[in-house]
Structure 1
Amino acid sequence: MGVFRLREGLRADGDIAVAEALSLVESDWERQVGNATISAGIIETYVRDLLGFVAVMAMQRITTVAQVTPNMVLAWCLMPLTDGTPAAENTWYRRRSAVRSFFETCRCLGLADANPAKSVEFAQRSGRFVNAFDDVSMAQLKRVSRSTLGDTRTPCALAMVMSGSTTRELANVTVEDVDLAAGRVWVHGGGYKCRDRWVPFTDEWCREAVEQHVVGLRDTYGDDAKPTWLVYMPHPTHPNPTRRAEAASGLITRLLQKARVHQPGQTRAESIREWLALTVFEETGSIEQVALRLGCASLDAAAHLVGYDWVAPSRQDPAPLHRRGGAA
């Protein structure tokens, strides 16, 4: 992480008001947004959450950054919404991410060395739920993605996820990874849960959406277009894999919200891939094909996406009498 250097003018590590620190952090984030190294949408969400965090700290009479503890961060992450309803699990993680990023930037600016949010952990998530979009919602997403004149990036991003890419993989795809002639794209960088693979475009709409965006990038950058990322705009001066992933995820999330199909704690970007998983399974009846298309590292993961029970078929008929428990 490097050596921490205290900001000039501060008497001690963390000796700055929480609200003042947020103002400095927000200014630094705005500078990074201007340099295209941070997604503006992500920063807007962070700042909105952090304003609430600052207000809660003020109510608890926490006057400086140094006074913030992990338990305070945890309590705020789990705090109910203003209407009294419990915060969704996704909200816990979003709030924690905002505070962690805040303290990381505080360290970069020389405001505080420690990051109390770094040690905050929640109870183990329950088994991952599946909430796939239906065909009506997918048609709505397609329509809304093209609602802004001149925007080819959003339809392209939707087409990529519809074809099987995760948002993490989407952040790594460049113009050079797209094979328009063969109607496919090489998706990669999905981590240990996803295998690098070629995925075909789901339908003609997806192919046209990707082609239109790729052709536009080639027209703009010429020979320099090959290493250009499809969704992280454009040619960032300081590439950052985390920021690229946030930009890709934020782009899809904003589309879900604009199309009014986003339900916090229920539907999310992965619901698009879950729709694809069900579509592939209905067409082929093969868990293996689902795993290949979505890059699942295990057949169990693919089976979970489509609600397939590996055990149920073998239990349709009872065992012979002499093999049943308790038989003589």
Structure 2
Amino acid sequence: MTAPIMVHLDAWRVWQHAQRLSLVTITERIRVVALFGAEMDVEPARSCDGDIVGWLHSHPEWSDSTVTTYHSYLSSWFKWLQVTDRREDNPMMKVGTPHYPDRQPRPVSDDDVVRLLSTRMWRSTRVMILLALLAGLRVSEIARVRGEDVDAGAGVLWVKGKGRKVRSIPLHPTLIEAASTMPAKGYWFPMRGHPHTPMHGKSVSDVVSRTMRRAEVPGTPHCLRHWYATTLLDDGADLRTVQELMRHKTIQSTAVYTKVPDARRKSAVARLDPLRSVTGAEHRVYVPSAVGTS
């Protein structure tokens, strides 16, 4: 059987580079579209809605999150084909939108943070972890930190995040101290043998993950970013401030990363008073007797 021809994929790759999308995003999109064509034995540019539905249905082992992500990649592919006049219709219009799974915040516990920071590790690894815990950086952002991004005098760190947007983050005193031990110029975490090229975010993730496993701390490096947001909220920061520090476009995105502590939820419920409009001796909550009928 002849393998299907992957028409237009190279042109789509070039177009995405011109849009300044990240290399990771471009590579993953191309991989998924090519996988779709190979597994369904169709030319992706000429496939129909039945091919797409059949492919997604053929992988029951995929999580809802994976299906949603792959669906978005295919949507981007067919939208590009249509916009660039390579195809008249968009089969994704007939496929429908999968249910996006509700995400729950998964911050590491305070005890786990102490256990992690008490573990022996390389200085560079400790700085990676501190950047996640005290600045809320993603692994891809940690990989690209340079000495020039630190303004110790102003107490800020300049971060290039999603969409290549550059934002400033207040530097925690511990990070200011850590910065003094790192290069004043160039990448803090260069690729081995290539001092002018930053590590891949995946490499940073692997380094931090190994340290977390050795410290017997459950979760992923991203859970350290969850801790940052959750702890800010727990310590009294309002959600809008946390949104700015997390560098989210919408407050809804921030809400996903923040877990309201159980103690705060219980306290909020305990303060409820159905007779709060009543004053004086009459102000008491009625508690029904355990004996008798209503």
Tell me the TM-score normalised to structure 1 length.
Answer: 0.52
Q: Greater CA radius of gyration, 1 or 2?
A: 2
1:181 corresponding residue in structure 2:
153
Deviations 1:126-185 (A, max 9, x none): 3x3122244366789x859669xxxxxxx77x76544334659969x9999753223323
Q: Output the amino acid matched with 2:237.
A: E
Q: Indicate how the Cα distance of structure 1 residues 182 and 107 shifts in structure 2: closer, same or farther if over 3 A, else same.
A: same
Aligned to 2:26: 43
Matched to 2:48, the amino acid is V
| Local SS of the residue matching 1:46 | helix
Provide closer, same or farther for how the CA distance between residues 290 and 308 of structure 1 changes in structure 2, counting only shifts above 3 A: farther
Where does residue 261 of structure 2 map in the other structure? 307
1:68 to 45, 48, 58: 48
Residues of 2 paired with 1:65 and 1:325: CA distance?
68
Match of 2:185 in 1: 215
Partner of 2:224: 272
Aligned to 1:286: 235
Q: Note the C-alpha offset of 1:312.
A: 0.8
Kindly tell me the number of residue pairs found equivalent between the two proteins: 252
Secondary structure at the counterpart of residue 259 of structure 2? helix
Say yes or no: does 1:52 pair with 2:27.
no
Counterpart for residue 87 of structure 2: 112
Could you tell me which residue of structure 2 aligns to residue 88 of structure 1?
63
Shift of 1:303: 9.6
Displacement, 1:95?
Answer: 1.0
Q: How big is the shift at 1:307?
A: 2.8
CA contact (8 A) 2:135 2:169 kept: no
Q: Which sections of structure 1, spanning at least 5 residues, go unmatched?
A: 1-16, 148-154, 218-232, 235-247
Q: Compute the displacement of 1:110 (Å).
A: 4.3
The 1:74/1:67 distance shift into structure 2, 3 A limit, reads: closer
Aligned pairs (5 A) from 1:91-170: 91-107=66-82, 110-117=85-92, 120-126=96-102, 128-133=103-108, 134-135=112-113, 143=122, 160-165=131-136, 167=138
Residue 255 of structure 1, aligned match among 204, 209, 212? 204
DSSP-derived class of the 1:185 partner: strand
If asked which structure has higher relative contact order (CA below 8 Å, sep 6+), I would say 1
- The separation in 2 between residues aligned to 1:41 and 1:123, in whole angstroms, is 25
Aligned with residue 174 of structure 2, among 203, 208, 211: 203
Where does the alignment leave 5 or more consecutive residues of structure 2 unmatched?
188-195, 276-282
CA separation of 1:315 and 1:210: change in aligned 2, threshold 3 A: same
CA-CA distance at 1:273 after TM superposition:
1.5
TM score, norm. by length of structure 2: 0.56
State the distance in 1 between where 2:181 and 2:14 align.
30
Amino acid at match of 1:125: P
Verify the 8 A CA contact 1:252 1:269 in the aligned structure 2: no
Shift of 1:52: 2.6
- SS of equivalent to 2:170: strand
| Alignment partners' CA distance in 2, 1:311 and 1:182 | 37
CA distance in 1, matches of 2:226, 2:15: 37
Instruction: Give the C-alpha shift of residue 104 in structure 1.
Output: 3.9
What letter is aligned with 1:40?
Answer: L
